[in-house]
A and B are shown apart, each in its own frame.
Chain A
């Protein structure tokens, strides 16, 4: 595959949380300002000639059926090209992919990819939980978010002896990392006992096995390597992009111990980057639930199938482990404002590769980082992006 390279020259986000005092537009503005401020040599917002905005749930804040035009107006970029991307939990990482396509094709030069999500303007009952009444009126009735992932935990525990302690170790590690990340929703540690003793949400998952509902926004600025030189001496390059789909109904899965969308997306991204899992210095992966991270680190090739639980328990995924996972705190601690999540993960990868991650900085060996989301009905969409500091 031959493609024109894309560089990331700026990235930023706002402090995640229950941002009752900020509108969707104000959150977008905050992330945009942070991204512009991160550009080493500065950037005139007028340089931006296209915006791709990821928002998964306009229904949560009264913007049913909106297009992309809300965001340019809020950013003072009225008139600019803008498209809204909605592709389930990977909406943000897919918007990044589409932005890269726009730059690589030569159609646009400087592109803003921004993810914004208002999760808390509606109550939980009327928000994500209401999803349980969506989809097929019988075959998916009652399928709220944990129902898409908890069946994999049941089966992974049955087939591989994965324990609740192993699941809990993911939450403990991500909360630890989140405490080191000033942008994380949760800024506190949890213990294995606290995770195990938390109220059950959806067996076998308890409250601390689940990510919170978080408001947030994040933005990255991408351009051609040629234009990148105007903005920074330390650009980060896009090395690989992969997206894959899987059937939307759980009953169409051929197994409940892995997610084929993740396997498909990562193998495409590795092939495009000509890199493999051992070449990654860190990864930001989709840990909407503790079990999801265990599935991810297996499906992304960091550990053998069935070994993700024990690897987590033994600290292999900690900041000083063999492959640090979710250094930002992940969805479990940083939060999961759906459209913003992928962009926020890319921002963490960008900081890590530029060695700007402060107390949670990992040791760079190869200079590559991986970002991953999986989600949607039947966890049927996954996107993997690989960033690098290699030329």
Chain B
């Protein structure tokens, strides 16, 4: 086989066309699974560390929205001013469908917003970042929201199962900012590595661990990283499929362990989000920083020069520190790998109903109609031609706030599949005076009348194969 070690190397910042990072946001799911509990379930001993896993109402899309909201908040950019949304995720929740549009709607971006979704391998996170940079360099957009997220379903009993984590990172790119993107290098080989066929649900590793390490991961990643010519004091954030490969790759590059080691230990392998997620906290400190994304036989490195702390970087750790311990059985059920027998209760309204065409943007974007006569806000607007307060018929459509206080609530303990008990339902008085009823996002044990809550993006159900998204209520932490 002829030696093929070519590298595509190019600058990201040229005269008059700079690209900088002006805001950072991250998100992690609600459950934490000890690796040892997976091993124990399969009759194997040992296993260190933990993996972040989605509840049944979280997925790569809800994580993406949560991280992006924080990046916009940190970068102080209102949604209607976002020039483009680039989302990288190994596996979109819709094999074919409106995944990008749903994220854009939940973020309340304008209809003329640019962008794309990149998927197909864990390399897609880096691809999203580069696609956004290219759009900025071309002058198409003045800012860009880059989101990377993953929450894969691992094959049961596979080595991937003991590595598969989940999480999301979002970076807001602007012309000016405290951290500049300097250069990038890419390389590839036509190899399988992590794999899921088009008719398969679960992802698995294709190769023997040492074959993957010695012949695939380390050679491709090393040459791509070295090509950057990064300063010797550069901090590295690396893809880290098994929890050791990241450190091994970094050994050739730096005396220090990779800065991504913390998030890898906390969340497991976050796949397409790993490189950006691992570097997000490091954007809080000045100095050179490089990220390496890997997947599908491709590696890409990007050199960043951090001049000043990036907004939001200082809050990364607290945002990721939210998971609650879960058992292996809970995780299997949450991922849909353990299912009750029999038929589950169908929604009255099928996903193909015209109702969703009418009000999906209102529901995803949390839009309300404020009566111009009496100021009452009601939702969703499409079922309220008349104001419940005064009967008025003229409204201003508004983006509702995502914080409020509990007016009243219940915790339902008796729900048939596909519902899971305990299921809290909460009536919330939002901070603009509007009122909304939504499900609780966890077990509801910390709810009380008058307690402060936030609305978080969640997947309500998968109905006839179609995910249905909306907002749920969670007691306000300090991670807003």
Instruction: List residues of chain A with CB within 8 A of the CB of B130.
Output: none
Contact call B460/A141, Cβ cutoff below 8 A: yes
Instruction: List residues of chain A with CB within 8 A of the CB of B449.
Output: 154-155, 158
Instruction: List residues of chain A with CB within 8 A of the CB of B388.
Output: 247, 252
Instruction: List residues of chain B with CB within 8 A of the CB of A204.
Output: 410
Q: A80-96 toward B: CB 8 Å interface, digit per residue (1/0)? A: 00000000000000000
Q: B397-415 toward A: CB 8 Å interface, digit per residue (1/0)? A: 0000000000111111111
Contact call B437/A202, Cβ cutoff below 8 A: no
Residue of B nearest to A210 (CB): B414
CA distance A16 to B451 in the complex (A): 43
Closest-CB distance, B438 to chain A (whole angstroms) = 7
- Give the one of A137, A147, A153, A253 with max B CB within 10 A: A137
Closest-CB distance, B240 to chain A (whole angstroms) = 37
Closest-CB distance, B360 to chain A (whole angstroms) = 10
Contact call B427/A147, Cβ cutoff below 8 A: no
Instruction: List residues of chain A with CB within 8 A of the CB of B413.
Output: 199-203
Closest-CB distance, A57 to chain B (whole angstroms) = 13
Residue of A nearest to B471 (CB): A138
Instruction: List residues of chain B with CB within 8 A of the CB of A129.
Output: 345, 414-416
Contact call A147/B425, Cβ cutoff below 8 A: yes
Residue of A nearest to B422 (CB): A203
Instruction: List residues of chain A with CB within 8 A of the CB of B62.
Output: none
CA distance A146 to B409 in the complex (A): 12
**For chains A and B in complex, what number of residue pairs have CB atoms within 8 angstroms?**
122
Kindly identify which residue among A130, A137, A154, A199 contacts B460, using a CB–CB cutoff of 8 Å: A137
Closest-CB distance, A238 to chain B (whole angstroms) = 32
- Give the one of B410, B416, B435 with max A CB within 10 A: B410
Contact call B414/A256, Cβ cutoff below 8 A: no
Contact call A151/B427, Cβ cutoff below 8 A: yes
- Give the one of A151, A152, A158 with max B CB within 10 A: A151
In the assembled complex, A126 has its CB within 8 A of some CB on chain B: yes
A133-B345, A138-B470 are contacts. A125–B416 as well, Cβ < 8 Å?
A: yes
Closest-CB distance, A154 to chain B (whole angstroms) = 5
Kindly identify which residue among A126, A142, A247, A253 contacts B425, using a CB–CB cutoff of 8 Å: A142
Contact call B414/A154, Cβ cutoff below 8 A: no
The interface size bin for chain A is 35 or more
A144-B414, A251-B436, A252-B388 are contacts. A137–B349 as well, Cβ < 8 Å?
A: yes
Contact call A251/B435, Cβ cutoff below 8 A: yes
In the assembled complex, A219 has its CB within 8 A of some CB on chain B: no
Contact call A155/B407, Cβ cutoff below 8 A: yes
Q: How many residues of B contact A (CB 8 A)?
A: 41
Contact call B438/A146, Cβ cutoff below 8 A: no
In the assembled complex, A139 has its CB within 8 A of some CB on chain B: yes
In the assembled complex, B263 has its CB within 8 A of some CB on chain A: no
In the assembled complex, B378 has its CB within 8 A of some CB on chain A: yes
Q: A239-276 toward B: CB 8 Å interface, digit per residue (1/0)? A: 00000000101111100100000000000000000000
CA distance A154 to B411 in the complex (A): 10
Contact call B419/A142, Cβ cutoff below 8 A: yes
Contact call B460/A138, Cβ cutoff below 8 A: yes
A125-B345, A129-B414, A142-B419 are contacts. A151–B425 as well, Cβ < 8 Å?
A: yes
A125-B345, A129-B415, A132-B416 are contacts. A154–B437 as well, Cβ < 8 Å?
A: no
In the assembled complex, A135 has its CB within 8 A of some CB on chain B: yes
Instruction: List residues of chain B with CB within 8 A of the CB of A140.
Output: 437
- Residues of B325-384 contacting chain A, CB below 8 A: 345-349, 355-356, 363, 378-380, 383
Instruction: List residues of chain B with CB within 8 A of the CB of A144.
Output: 412, 414-415
Closest-CB distance, B466 to chain A (whole angstroms) = 10
- Residues of A174-215 contacting chain B, CB below 8 A: 199-205
Instruction: List residues of chain B with CB within 8 A of the CB of A150.
Output: 410, 412
CA distance A22 to B206 in the complex (A): 61
Kindly identify which residue among A132, A137, A202, A247 contacts B345, using a CB–CB cutoff of 8 Å: A132
Closest-CB distance, A46 to chain B (whole angstroms) = 42
Contact call B427/A256, Cβ cutoff below 8 A: yes
In the assembled complex, B423 has its CB within 8 A of some CB on chain A: yes
Closest 3 A/B residue pairs (Cβ): A138-B470, A125-B416, A150-B410
- Interface residues, chain B, with chain A CB atoms under 8 Å away: 345-349, 355-356, 363, 378-380, 383, 388, 407-417, 419, 423, 425, 427, 435-439, 444, 449, 460-461, 463, 468, 470-471
**What are 7 inter-chain pairs, A to B, with CB distance below 8 A?**
A143-B425, A144-B412, A153-B410, A201-B412, A202-B410, A202-B413, A249-B437
Known pairs A132-B345, A135-B348, A147-B410 / 15 extra A-B pairs, C-beta < 8 Å: A125-B417, A129-B416, A130-B345, A130-B416, A137-B348, A139-B436, A139-B438, A142-B439, A143-B425, A146-B412, A147-B425, A150-B410, A158-B408, A202-B414, A251-B435
